[in-house]
Structure 1
């Protein structure tokens, strides 16, 4: 979790906080734990962040900056719409789910998306949607997919994919199962659009 343009002190705190939250959970972790992991005093930590919620939100924002860069790379890459959209889903949905799911405090960390960071979670999913819609629009402009066949816009298809992913996360028991279900769903959504264009 290392954004290139971050202040080094803030970067050290967020890296330490991410590990501390992962190890102890956010509720059990203390500002002392985070300060110690970052190699600083608690008063020095309070000069940068006012509380754990502030740090948690900063961690998510930092992760979102990294996600934005990775998704931009996928959007610019070559490959079919289906391949690139699945790469977006893996990067923005499956990998974070897998990372958080590996923590002993996964349930608490997943719950925090609505307790502390509901707005950030919406922004995260919107970033994924916009990227998927952009890929579909690129492919439609190049004549490799036909959106008119579906009768819905690229933005609507992207929203259905992210909404579907949220439903799948509730039912799937592992990141691998989630990835397989998402792959089938993306193939079902995108495959016919590409076939009609071909």
Structure 2
């Protein structure tokens, strides 16, 4: 009988899969109950593993939260890459990018009554992970704008039109649009309104 330690790559994959399983379970609970009301015991039950297994991968709940942001970032990055491969007009791709990044985050951790608490906790203990997550949108939005400008599909020559400022505005709007415990449909609609303003500013 072979041992998984005889196959280092398989062992690493198994460890990585288990860590992702834990982070995925934690993400659901943080969104449902908030960070403070979610215990490590709860995460173990949600992930259907022993509590001791969690501590093989994470030091504690703070560490798990950081992992949830990293996992969400990996998923969002993959969705954004798909958007960048689309053969579609600038307006359609920009809205698809907003859905891939901000709407995915909304569905994962940004909806419900616990968003404000999660945001505060993230700003306290997971700033590096939050910035890395936000940088995904900045990177792909910048790429999209540069590509579309190079093709002449949009113009940045109007006074006051600055790509970095436009992207920052969309980032800020994505957070502000969550206020009020709104539904996903309302959130998506609000993002569409903000995107419409940006699109109108850059179309020839």
Give TM-score scaled by structure 2 length. Answer: 0.80
Shifted more, 76-85 versus 21-30: the winner is 21-30
- CA RMSD across the alignment: 2.5
Aligned to 1:138: 147
- Alignment check: 8 A CA contact 1:100 1:110 kept: no
* Alpha-carbon distance in 1 for matches of 2:175, 2:113: 21
- Give the counterpart of 2:98 among 89, 97, 105: 89
C-alpha displacement of 1:106: 4.1
Aligned to 1:180: 189
Count the aligned residue pairs. Answer: 191
Aligned to 1:12: 21
Aligned to 2:125: 116
Does 2:63 correspond to 1:49? no
- Give the counterpart of 2:35 among 22, 26, 37: 26
C-alpha displacement of 1:84: 0.8
Aligned to 1:70: 79
Unaligned 5+ runs, structure 2: 1-12
Cα distance change on mapping 1:104 and 1:180 into 2, 3 Å: closer
Does 2:191 correspond to 1:190? no
C-alpha displacement of 1:133: 1.4
C-alpha displacement of 1:16: 2.6
- Alignment check: 8 A CA contact 2:69 2:129 kept: yes
Unaligned 5+ runs, structure 1: none
